[in-house]
Chain A
Amino acid sequence: MAEEVKLYGTWSSPFSRRIELALKLKGVPFEYIEEDLSNKSPELLKYNPVHKKIPVLVHNSKPIAESQVILEYIDEIWNNNPILPQDPYQRAMARFWAKFIDEKALATRMKANFAEGKERELVTEEFFQQMKFLENELNGKDFFGGETIGFVDIVAIVVAIWFPLTQEVLGVETFTEEKFPVLFKWIRKITEIDVVNECRPPREKHLAYVKARIEGLKSASK
Chain B
Amino acid sequence: MADEVILLDFWASMFGIRVRIALAEKGVKYEYKEQDLFNKSPLLLRMNPVHKKIPVLIHNGKSVCESSIIVQYIDEVWKDKAPLLPYDPYQRAQARFWVDFIDKKMYDTSRKTWATKGEEQEAAKKEFIEVLKTLGGELGDKPFFGGDNFGYVDLCLIPYYCWFYSYETFGKFSVEAECPKFIAWVTRCLQRETVAKALPDEKKVFEFVSVLREKIRVE
Contact = CB atoms under 8 A, between A and B. Distances in A.
A73 B65 contact: no
Given A66-B97, A69-B96, A92 B69 contact: yes
Interface residues of A, number: 22
Interface in B76-132: 76-77, 89-90, 92-94, 96-97, 100-101
Interface of A: 50, 59, 62, 64-66, 68-70, 72-73, 76-77, 88-89, 91-92, 95-96, 99-100, 133
A88 B89 contact: no
Nearest to B134: A50
Contact of A133 (B50, B59, B65, B77): B50
Contacts of B50: 100, 133
Interface in B126-181: 134
B69 A88 contact: no
Interface string B64-79: 1110011011001100
Main secondary structure on B side of the interface with A: helix
Query: Looking at chain B, what size class is its interface with the partner chain?
Result: 20 to 34
Given A64-B90, A69-B93, 11 more contacts: A59-B90, A62-B90, A66-B97, A73-B90, A77-B89, A88-B77, A89-B64, A92-B64, A95-B69, A96-B64, A133-B50
Contact of B96 (A62, A72, A77, A88): A72
B101 A50 contact: yes
A82 B147 CA distance: 29
Tell me the interface secondary structure of chain A in the complex: helix
Interface of B: 49-50, 59, 62, 64-66, 69-70, 72-73, 76-77, 89-90, 92-94, 96-97, 100-101, 134
B69 A89 contact: no
Q: Which are the 10 A-B pairs with shortest beta-carbon distances?
A: A88-B76, A76-B89, A73-B93, A92-B73, A69-B96, A64-B93, A92-B64, A95-B69, A88-B77, A69-B97
A99 B163 CA distance: 26
Given A72-B93, A100-B50, A95 B100 contact: no
Contacts of B101: 50
A72 B65 CA distance: 19
Contact of B73 (A65, A72, A76, A89): A89
A65 B69 contact: no
